[in-house]
């Protein structure tokens, strides 16, 4: 299955890309995807799969686009 990751906000500067793509042969958690792409969970505030807000332990069982939103401070 194909997992594409869309990076929002400063994540695209930090990880030098807007979209990352990975292939997996079996279900995988978002935590594992973050590890595989070397994206620090410390940078991520919200995770969205389709219309769902999910956490890092969410299990991806089919091809999906994950949107990662950076930590948000005051301003």
Q: Which residues bind other proteins (CB under 8 A)?
A: 8-11, 13-14, 40-42, 45-46, 48, 51-53, 67, 69-75
Nearest residue (CB) to other proteins, 2 versus 14: 14
- Number of CB atoms found within 10 A of residue 37's CB: 17
Q: Which residues pair with 55 in a beta bridge?
A: none
We find the least distance from the C-beta atom of residue 19 to other proteins, in angstroms, to be 15
- Among residues 21, 3, 17, 12, which one has the least CA distance to residue 44? 12
Nearest residue (CB) to other proteins, 3 versus 39: 39
């Amino acid at each position: 299955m194909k997992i594409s990751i869309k990076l929002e906000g400063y994540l695209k500067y930090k990880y030098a890309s807007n979209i990352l793509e990975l292939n997996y042969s079996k279900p995988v958690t978002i935590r594992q995807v973050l590890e595989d792409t070397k994206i620090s969970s410390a940078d991520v505030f919200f995770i969205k799969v389709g219309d769902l807000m999910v956490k890092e332990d969410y299990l991806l069982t089919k091809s999906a686009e994950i949107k990662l939103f950076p930590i948000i401070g005051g301003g």
